[in-house]
Every structure is written in structure tokens, then in C-alpha cells.
Structure 1
Amino acid sequence: MKPSWSTMFCLLAIAVGVAFDKGGWQIPREWNPFAPLAIEDPVTPMTRWKLKRLAGDREACLAALETAPAISFTPLDDYTPTAGCPLTNVVRLSSTQVAFSSSFVASCPLALAWTMYEQHELQPLAERLLGSRVSSVQHYGSFACRNIYHRENARRSEHATASALDVAGFRFENGRAISVLDDWDDVGTQGEFLHQAKAGACHYFGTTLGPDYNAAHANHFHLGMRGVSFCR
């Protein structure tokens, strides 16, 4: 199978990073595949690759999460809440710069991806388009020990490892509320906000799904870590 352009680009970037590293040259941290990831790093083609690599590096992932402003999370020991669905490298995320409808267990890379998405995409979009920051997020949870669409012979869902979050709506500091179910087809700013918010998520999450994907996602965005750039 021929590798994708994104894969070839990442391999090239890694090779360049090695060359710079061995030559003692300096490249921006956000472009250096070996530099630690920080919340304030601008998004580059290396960002998602770094996020994926942190799935196997608990300490580095937690260190990156600590760089987030106004975050409240609790690292959790590996455990098995439901038989057949062990959880590793997870945290309980209580709040970031937004409040959540409830705290939730998330893989550390998912929590990190959300926090970067929120800071670099979601809040600037809200201020630019609606003149108000997002104050809270309504979600349908992250962990569910099940196969995709609950099908018996399907592979495990990303939710089985707490590696995906289902986002249903947003509330803003000015009191405005926008929901995926009610406002996706809106022809004004509410619909535009949702479409741009989903498009922006594709830079941070491996899988981003919304109402245009299928009826099962009519009322939420699925933001997951699996895959490279599946955005529908």
C-alpha cells in the first residue's frame, strides 16, 4: 500500500529533525519531532504525530498536560472498570478553560488534544465569530465498553479505551447556547460556528465525525484519537 502524503511528510520531518539534532542546529519546538509537546505550541503537521506518540509515554503526556492553563485533572492508575476494557494512561478531566457537563475519564492524549484544540481553535473561533468565549461544554461521555455501533462482530470502539469524546453542545459567557442537534443546519452564525469548530478539530484528533457522517452522529461530534486524519 502506498503511504499517504501526510505519512511521508511526517517521515521527512523526522529525518530532518534527526539531521538538525545531530548537527546541533535549532528548529522550532513545534516542528521538532523529538521536542516535548506543550499546550501553547502552534499546530503543525507534527502535532498529531506527537500526540499519538504520547499514548505510550505516560510521564511525558502528563508533563505536557501540566502546561495547560486553568486545567483540573487527576492522573489515574491503570485499571479495568469493565471486563474486557482495560484502561491505561488515563486521567479524570474535571475542567479546563471551560466547565464540562460532568467530569470524565480520558486517555491522556485525548485530554491533551482537547486542551490544545480548545486553546488554539475553539476559543479563538468563538471570540471571532460570536464575540464571546465558550464557558461550558455539554458532552455524552468518553468511556463505553462496546464495539462500534454496538455491533457484535465489529472492532472495539475508541470509547472502549476512553480515547474519544462525544461533544453535544456549547454554552458561551454571554449566555448563548448552541447544540449540534438543533443548530448544525442553521444558516446563520450558530451553524457556521459548529461547522468551523468541527473543521478545526480535524487538526488535533485522528477521527472527527459529525452529523454529515451518518445519523448516529446527528446530535454530537465524535472526537477520537484513532486514525491519522479521518474527518467527516
Structure 2
Amino acid sequence: MSLRGVLFTVSVSGLLILMGCSTGGPNFVAKHEPWRENEESACLAAGVVRPSPFLEARSALGGPSYCGASRPFQMSAADQGRVSLKPPALLRCPMIPQVERWVSRVVKPSAEYYFGSPIVEMKVAASYGCRPRNNQSGGKLSEHGYANALDISSFTLADGRVVTVKGGWWGDERERLFLRAVHEGACGEFTTVLGPNSDKFHHDHFHVDLARHGRDGRQRYCK
């Protein structure tokens, strides 16, 4: 084989590995980003996230490609067990305190203000999953692939009322106001927040994550 042929083969092989296609895995584009490991390590070292009856330390998640997290946690409830996450969410360390803050500072008080009833459950539509953004083949690796994202599709109150993002976003006035308050409040806790007004892929849930945006990584994307 000529040198040109060898270089072509190596290039194609590298591209396939990058996109997770060499073994028939998910078709996405990914690259190594050191800040992810740095933030996870800093969070773990700070000791703000510790195992509890509602937070279980799990084994490392790895591959294919750059999917995974070194020391993820399975979160079954927030607010000291008062707000269940069903099914439990598999998340990396930095996401845990932000979910807790969102629930305690935004979701709970908003539910009590608009409905006069505490929230008891949030329906998890997605957490960790090694896949491209919006499940679109050939796209960038989703933040879900790093266990750095959470999708919520509904909120259940103590009085039995279930507020879905799909039905409530354009539902009765209280549901509309509640969901918009929850969405807006999430923008102060996460760097990415997507809801029904963002695109067709988020018509039935809220997506929140801690991706970096902009040159300095400090910009937020809330839509």
C-alpha cells in the first residue's frame, strides 16, 4: 500500500472512532475537553456531594468515545428526600448541587405559590445516555453523554395534581405561570436550559445542563 493510502486509512479510522462508528456504536462527534474532568474532580474534592439514602455513588461510566463520568451518582430524590426523581437520575458530581438548588429555591416555592401544594415528584425523561444531541445521527455528543444533563417532563404535587411540560406549557393559567417560573429559575442554576419555546425536540420537557458556552465558558443559553 502506498503512503498516501496508509494516511487515508488512518484518517478514516480516526474519524470513525471519533464519531463512535467503528464498533457500530452511536453516531456522534466528540472531542476531549479537560475542563470536564477538572470540574468533576473539584466537585468531588470539595465534599459538597456525599452519598446518602437518596444519593448513591456509582462505578465509573466509560465509553464509547468520550462518554461517561469518573464518579457519577444516582440521585433518587432532592430536598432531603422530599422530592422524588423518578426514575432516578444518573449524573456527574457538579450537576447534583445545582439540581438541589433548583428544586429548593425555585421548583418547591413556585409549586406552593401557584398551587398551594408542595411538590413531591419530578419525572425524569433522561439523564445519562451516550448519544448525539437530540438523537440526531452525526451531531455532537449530547451533554447527556457526559452525565452532565437532566430532562424533566412533569411535576407531581402532594394533592395528586400532575403538571406536564407538554400539556401545561400552554395549559391553564396557573400551570403556564408555574412552568415558566420553573424554566426561568433554572436559568440561574444551569448554563443551558431548553423548553418548549426552544425547538421541536424539547416540546414536552425541560432540558438543563452545565455545558460551557462562549470563549470564556461563562455564557448561558436559556430558551
Match of 2:138 among 153, 167, 174: 153
Q: What is residue 25 of structure 1 aligned with on the other side? A: none
1:153-192 to 2 correspondences below 5 Å: 153-192=138-177
Cα shift at 1:103: 1.2
- Residues 201 and 71 from structure 1, CA distance in 2 versus in 1: closer, same or farther, beyond 3 angstroms? farther
Alignment of 1:1-232 (within 5 A): 54-61=39-46, 63-66=47-50, 72-80=54-62, 82-84=63-65, 85-96=67-78, 97-227=82-212, 228-232=219-223
TM-score if structure 1 supplies the norm length? 0.70
Q: Which amino acid aligns with 2:209?
A: G
> Which secondary structure does the structure 1 equivalent of 2:179 belong to?
helix
What is the rounded CA distance, in whole Å, between the counterparts of 1:205 and 1:130 in structure 2?
25
TM (norm. structure 2) is: 0.73
CA RMSD of aligned residues (A): 2.1
Q: Offset at 1:86? A: 2.8
Given that 1:158 and 1:226 are in contact with CA atoms closer than 8 Å, whether structure 2 keeps it comes out as yes
CA shift for structure 1 position 225: 0.9
CA 1:144–1:54 in 2, change beyond 3 Å: closer, same or farther? same
The answer on whether the counterparts of 1:209 and 1:223 sit within 8 Å (CA) in structure 2 is: yes
Q: Partners of 1:132 and 1:71 in 2: how far apart? A: 25
Identity %: 23
Aligned residues: 177
* SS class of match (2:207): strand
Task: Give every structure 1 segment of 4 or more consecutive aligned residues whose post-TM-superposition deviation is greater than 4 Å.
Answer: none
The answer for unaligned runs of 5 or more in structure 2 is 1-36, 213-218
Quote the offset at 1:124 in angstroms: 1.1
Distance 1:53 1:134, change over 3 A: farther
Secondary structure of 2:178 counterpart:
helix
Which one-letter code corresponds to 2:48 in the other structure?
A: A
Which stretches in structure 1 are left out of the alignment for 5+ residues? 1-51
The 8 Å contact of residues 58 and 89 in structure 1, kept in 2 or not, is answered as: no
